[in-house]
Structure 1
Amino acid sequence: MDSTTYKLYHVHGMDSRSFLDLYFSNKEDMVFAEDFLKFPMEMLHYQFSTGRVDGKFLIDISIGSFIHLLYSASNSIKKIVLLKFQEKCIMELSRWLHDRTGAYDWSHTSSAAAELEGMRGQLQDKEMRLRSSIMQILKCDFEQVNITSPVLLPLADCVISVSILDVISKNEDEYMKNLEKIIKLLKPGGQLLLFSLLDATYWVAGAERFHCFKCNEEFVKNAFVKLGLVIDYCAVQRRRNISDIIDYKAFLFIVGCKGE
């Protein structure tokens, strides 16, 4: 398939449940556990448990409708808002948030979070704490000056973003403009915790193949610096799986602090 025919995540939408099953489930044939479950959970556990990142208000703007990255944050941050581009993702998250029939089963990640914190067996506590921290799930639109219009959010102490810039940016200029919009969600001194696919061009959800902006570690670091973020931390996980449903070579985690 020619790259020009790839779908765009924020334009065409995707099968949100298929996406979770392919990349985040506990199924035997799910090969991405090391990269997309374990690595980000360990990175955020370190940041929040050591006090490197803290605050009272957090915004998450990530691809899909996963929640496992937020367990560590909810231990210290009591107000979390989730921003999504798609109604399907909002519906998926709402089912889990309100513990409704058909909600996605995240027990494999709550048990992993409890183990990271030395709290084995307290799975329900992890999910209950996270649910109580999530204040709103809002739709966002990067074509708007205020991306959450008509809702005006306060500036956040920290923002977590997973692969959104990769899937909504078609080129370097768009990446910089989109990153700038995310940085505007932060208060001065606030921190952006970004996960990014490196050297990826496509990914699959359902029966569709989607565009991914191809970038490397140097590009992301330079983008942070150009837009006034001071890099506090950076780690790269080299790909640990074999699969043709996505073609990334590594998974980047980087933390940047917005200037006062």
Structure 2
Amino acid sequence: MSSSCKKIYGVDVVDHQNLIKQFFSPHVPYTFYVETSMNRMLSIYKAFSTGMVTGKTLTDFCCAPLLFRVLLIKDFVKDITLVQTNDDGVQEIDKWLNKHPDACDWSHAAGYLKEFKGIRALGYPTGPSSPGTLFPLGQPNQLQRRDESDDEEENTRGNIKVLKWDLSDDNPAEALSLPKADIVTCMWFLELISKNHDEYRRNLRNISTAIKPEGFLLIQTNVNSSYFKVGEETFHL
């Protein structure tokens, strides 16, 4: 977890639109997109659709305004609160909520979700290597057109609110006047904001204050990685 000579997310400025374009857009190489997005979508959907994780309210902590996860979760919970650690992340989500022309485009993720739910309903296996797969072996931007996935995005917007958390506050639920949630999700976050293992444990305790007793904490993380780059900037991971 060495953070020497690397920028720290939540402390240093990051270009979110460039980050999304580099890692989560339909323009990245297909195999890379499978790793950054598709596999994460499938694991989240499995957790909720099988009843492994249940509840009416959800609070999400994430390193960036990565909305593909929210498109999945909205079918299973009533209210979703997205917690960002900087103004730019909040603004990016607000732009998407308000259909601003400069908002990041998540229609490809909504298209995958729509196709996945249709395949699942027919009883076919799903996954990048399965017959009848959700993800055909082609470039992601060749799949769903925007008009085919607009309803998934539109049905999500009404369920969401977004808040900014100052990392210096040890109790985000109290600092944000945030009711404790049935479910807390955390993706690609704790390892970015934590310079060392002690900070990781402290930050884990902090986000745990947002969970109801006997609630669920769902974490997706990276292993065997020490940094990522956004443009020419190197960030600790």
TM-score range, shorter-chain basis? 0.7 to 0.9
Match of 2:150 among 120, 124, 135: 124
**SS state of the match for residue 124, structure 1?**
helix
Aligned to 2:101: 101
**SS state of the match for residue 69, structure 2?**
helix
Aligned to 1:165: 190
TM-score (norm 2): 0.83
Classify 1:44/1:28 alpha carbon distance in 2 versus 1 (closer, same or farther; 3 Å): closer
The structure with more strand, counted as a fraction of residues? 1
Q: Give the residue type in structure 2 aligned to 1:45.
A: Y
Deviations 1:1-48 (A, max 9, x none): x95111111111201111000000011547521111111110111111
Rounded to whole Å, the distance in 1 between the matches of 2:202 and 2:28 is 39
TM-score (norm 1): 0.76
Rounded to whole Å, the distance in 1 between the matches of 2:53 and 2:44 is 9
Aligned to 2:83: 83
Rounded to whole Å, the distance in 2 between the matches of 1:8 and 1:79 is 30
Rounded to whole Å, the distance in 2 between the matches of 1:8 and 1:148 is 23
Q: Is the 8 A contact 2:173 2:209 kept in 1?
A: no
Which consecutive residues of structure 2, in runs of 5 or more, have no partner in the other structure? 120-143
| Equivalent runs, 1:186-225 vs 2, <5 Å | 186-212=211-237
2:205 aligned with 1:180, yes or no?
Answer: yes
Rounded to whole Å, the distance in 2 between the matches of 1:57 and 1:122 is 28
Q: Give the residue type in structure 2 aligned to 1:130.
A: T
- Aligned pairs, number: 210
Rounded to whole Å, the distance in 2 between the matches of 1:122 and 1:79 is 25
**SS state of the match for residue 63, structure 2?**
coil
Post-superposition offset of 1:163:
1.4
Aligned to 1:6: 6
Structure 1 vs Structure 2: percent identity of aligned residues? 31
The 4+ residue runs of structure 1 with deviation greater than 3 A are 28-31, 119-122
Identify which of structures 1 and 2 has the higher relative contact order when contacts are C-alpha pairs closer than 8 Å and 6+ apart: 2
Q: Is the 8 A contact 1:110 1:127 kept in 2?
A: yes
Aligned to 1:54: 54
Deviations 1:162-182 (A, max 9, x none): 111110111111111111111
Rounded to whole Å, the distance in 1 between the matches of 2:83 and 2:3 is 27
Which consecutive residues of structure 1, in runs of 5 or more, have no partner in the other structure? 213-260
2:97 aligned with 1:72, yes or no?
Answer: no
Q: Give the residue type in structure 2 aligned to 1:140.
A: W
2:39 aligned with 1:39, yes or no?
Answer: yes
